[in-house]
C-alpha cells in the first residue's frame, strides 16, 4: 500500500476493488478496529461496516450483494483523489478538479447543523464540508436499476 490513501472513483480504494470479499480486504488493510452492522428495515438494506479508526476510514460491505465491499467513508487528511490531497481543497477547487476529470456536480445540500454536502452522482461521490473545510468523503459503486444502494451517512 502507498504511504497515502487513494480514492479510485467507481473502482475502489487504494488497491482494494469494489466487489472484493472481506478476506481480500483484510489482506490489504488487516483486521478492522471495529465491525458494526447497519440495518434499515424500512428500506430493506443491511451492511457490515469495518472501521479503521487509526487509519481514518470505514469500509462498507453490502449484505444483499454477497457481503462484498461496496463503499468507503474517509476522513484521513492525506487521502488523494486524482493525485491531489483532496482534504486541502476548497469547494470551488474540488468542483474544478472533478470537472477536469469528467464528473459534474449534481447536487448540493446545506444541513441545518452547518454541514454542506456536494454530490457528484456520476462518480458515486459525496463530499461533506463544515465551515468551509472538507471533513469527510463517501464514495462507492453506483446503484443499478434492480438494487437499492446504501450509501453511508
pLDDT tens digits along 18-41:
999 999 999 999 999 999 998 877
Spatial CB neighbours of 5, under 8 Å, sequence gap ≥ 6: 13, 14, 55, 56, 57, 74, 76, 78, 79, 80
Delimit the domains of the chain by residue range.
Answer: 6-140
Q: What is the pTM of this model?
A: 0.86
* Mean of all residue pLDDT scores within the chain: 89
Q: Confidence class of residue 150 from pLDDT cuts 50, 70 and 90? A: very low
Exposed, middle or buried, 117 (CB in 10 Å: 0-12/13-18/19+)? middle
Amino acid at each position: 500500500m502507498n504511504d497515502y490513501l487513494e480514492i479510485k472513483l467507481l473502482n475502489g480504494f487504494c488497491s482494494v476493488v469494489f466487489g472484493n470479499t472481506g478476506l481480500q480486504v483484510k489482506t490489504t488493510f488487516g483486521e478492522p478496529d471495529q465491525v458494526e452492522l447497519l440495518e434499515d428495515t424500512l428500506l430493506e438494506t443491511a451492511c457490515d461496516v469495518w472501521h479503521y479508526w487509526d487509519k481514518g476510514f470505514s469500509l462498507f460491505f453490502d449484505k444483499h450483494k454477497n457481503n462484498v465491499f461496496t463503499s468507503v467513508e474517509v476522513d484521513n487528511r492525506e487521502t488523494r483523489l486524482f493525485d491531489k490531497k483532496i482534504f486541502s481543497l476548497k469547494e470551488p477547487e474540488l468542483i474544478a478538479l472533478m470537472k477536469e476529470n469528467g464528473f459534474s456536480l449534481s447536487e448540493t445540500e446545506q444541513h441545518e447543523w452547518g454541514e454542506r454536502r456536494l454530490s457528484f452522482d456520476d462518480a458515486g461521490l459525496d463530499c461533506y464540508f463544515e465551515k468551509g473545510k472538507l471533513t469527510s468523503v463517501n464514495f462507492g459503486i453506483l446503484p443499478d436499476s434492480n438494487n437499492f444502494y446504501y450509501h453511508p451517512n
